[in-house]
Structure 1
């Protein structure tokens, strides 16, 4: 998963959000002008007030478009992480505008509770305009929510919530026009107050969320835990990985620290980091970047396998041939203790060849970290290395306790190559499909 792939994918998402915000801006502008003109001509103050409300929405949606446009700018020396947080900053401004619109609507509702209404003619045209406002606001809200969720845009989602409230507000305006015709202003004022309180709550929530994002707060701890679980399941990762997520505009920036054995080569550590990056990218949507840091894990609990000739606890003696040992001891080692977890009988002793390979396939399931042996064939050696197992040379007939003591004193020599080769013809015969 390369940075260029992330950049291309994110650029496409931002362009999609920009298009939706721009179309919504133009539609809201036309709707605000229509409301204001009809409200003024037909002397319908509630429709004029709704036009001012639409102007606030217009500013918020345009601000969202501007934020997405800024976020789509290329990275530079001055802004090496891009301008994605511009979209979050605009979300904060959008929330403030929504709160302001709610306060204005609240003032209007209070006026309606106290004012008297003069008789008017049936407001057919204002009613039609309000009905059109309901339909357009609903269409804008659905599209903003759909694209906002698809690209994880906080400002589009905030605008979608405000547009849904616009639908309710337009319905209130419809009711208000009829109630004004029937000279029942107090019900109209009460409903407007209710809508105003909902608008203020929505704007305040958007402001608070944007404020937390600008402070790099983790707003999705469940996602962090899920990613840690995915990374910890990778074979070769030891201990508990740490995943941190911060959001910049619509995108996630993920930092991950994974732990593995100290003897792992640089090449294998890079391979492990790639696997962690792929696991995160597969389970975390809207990624801008993934940074994986590999740390050696020391003094951890490790599992070890020892081929032994007998079952005699820690006094069991090491067998001279790994594959043909009658038993295998599974140990759990930490800095101060060695605990015998179990003994396993070698069920492959009666087979003519490749016993070591079959034993390796069986013991890998236990996710072992260490192998203590005196001899090891070529196939078994490379298979163990591919599964992140450290191999140490020990003498035949040493006790397991002596092996553990020498390992803790760093006096055991690591086996860096097979102790004996194999017949390649037999290998090819063994690997032929049946």
Structure 2
């Protein structure tokens, strides 16, 4: 996925979040005004207090909208990485407002705990307004949570949590109005205190998460490990890759270091980086950018395969043809050590044709790095090169140990083109004469 594709996708996500935040702002404004007017007219202090609580929610939701709007601005020379972190900064402010609302609610609950309520008439309209607030807050919370999860917006998720608590707060207000009518204020105060503590906990959690994100903390190490596993599984990547993720607003910025063999050409290294980028984009949600750096792996343990005529360890002799060799010797090789991993019998020798293709498919499954052979056909050569296998020329009847010594000494020549134009292993095997 190109940078423009990432940018277009992220712009659409931000616009979706902006629409939800703006709609929630308008709905919360209507609820706050309705609670304040009805509470003042019917002398219901608990409803007026809930109106102030909704006012704090209004500021938080509008701040979320502003942060998403700011994050949606185009990148510029001054801000080459965009303004995505504005949304995270707003999340920090939203968390602070939620904590403030919780503290205010805490004071109200403490007051209600000790002050008995006077006799009032049955508060029908305040009860209806509180019931409407419960339903509206629940709808707003569900929508904010749905879109917040879809676009990974921390501010929307923080607001959704506050809206869910607003549902509980409105329900408490509803009960409080009835309890005031029944002259049981102590229960009302205790419940308000409990809700206020939950509000403070939610706001504090949002502040802490936003603070860590502003410091580029990795809050999802499991995602990093998953991406590393996906990148390491790419054929041509050697060793263990390194993935670092930092979050800017609702989006992830991923940096990845992959290792490969030093002989890889610049073109193939770029191709390998593209594969890594595609793997990361496919498994990492809400990606803003992926930067892949390719490093040569020094003193690596390479996987080597050699077509041989017999099984005699490192004294096995190189066979004259790659596809029709009776055995293959698989080695692990670096600058100082060599280890025989296994011998493989060429199970395709009795096939009438396409032996080379079948051998190659078997070789690729072992993630081979090097092939030492005396000859190789055109199709086999290009298939192996496409799978990041370096091919070196070994003389027929040489021992494997002699070939290894030449390779370490740098005197073994790389095969840069097929040794013959027609792959003999693709030609039908001649029938034996009776």
Query: TM-score, with normalisation over the residues of structure 2?
Result: 0.96
User: Structure 1 residue 413: deviation in Å?
Assistant: 1.2
Query: After the TM superposition, which segments of 4 or more aligned residues of structure 1 sit over 6 Å from their partners?
Result: 426-430
Match of 1:183, SS? coil
Q: State the Cα deviation string for residues 172-202 of structure 1 (Å, max 9, x = none).
A: 0011111111111111100000000000000
Q: CA deviation at 1:16?
A: 0.7
1:30 corresponds in structure 2 to: 30
Q: Give distance in 1, aligned partners of 2:152 and 2:92.
A: 16
Gaps of 5+ in 2: 430-434
Q: CA deviation at 1:401?
A: 1.3
- For 1:343, the equivalent position in structure 2 comes to 343
Partner Cα distance (1:166, 1:4) in 2: 40
Distance in 2, matches of 1:253 and 1:405, equals 45
Partner of 1:166: 166
Does the 8 Å CA contact 2:306/2:373 hold for their aligned counterparts?
yes
* Closer, same or farther: CA 372–184 of 1 in aligned 2, 3 Å: same
1:318 maps to: 318
Give 1:151 shift: 0.7
For residue 294 of structure 2, give the secondary structure of its aligned residue in structure 1: strand
SS at match of 2:207: helix
**1:199 is the counterpart of 2:199:** yes
Identify which range, 52-61 or 317-326, moves more after superposition.
317-326
Residue 428 of structure 1: CA displacement?
10
Q: Indicate the SS of the match to 1:413.
A: coil
Deviations 1:325-364 (A, max 9, x none): 2221111112321111111222333445554333223222
Distance 1:429 1:273, change over 3 A: farther
132 and 352 in structure 1: CA distance in 2 versus 1, 3 angstrom threshold? closer
Report what 1:263 is aligned to.
263
Equivalent residue runs for 1:8-407 within 5 Å: 8-351=8-351, 353-407=353-407
- 3-state SS of paired residue (1:329): strand
State the TM-score, normalizing by the size of structure 1.
0.96
Q: Distance in 2 between matches of 1:273 and 1:349?
A: 37
Distance in 2 of aligned mates of 1:276 and 1:419: 32
Q: Which SS does the other structure have where 2:340 is aligned?
A: strand
8 Å contact from structure 2 (residues 153, 249) kept in 1: yes
The one-character-per-residue Cα deviations of 1:85-121 (angstroms, maximum 9, x if unpaired) are: 0000000000000000000000011111111221111
Q: What is residue 432 of structure 2 aligned with on the other side?
A: none
Alpha carbons of structure 1 residues 27 and 353: separation in structure 2 relative to 1, 3 Å: closer
CA distance in 2, matches of 1:315, 1:279: 42
- Tell me the SS of whatever aligns to 2:254: strand
Alignment partner of 2:365: what SS?
Answer: helix
| Cα distance in structure 2, aligned partners of 1:331 and 1:87 | 53
1:410 aligns with 2:410: yes
Cα distance between partner residues in 2 of 1:204 and 1:189: 22
Pairwise CA distance, 1:382: 0.9
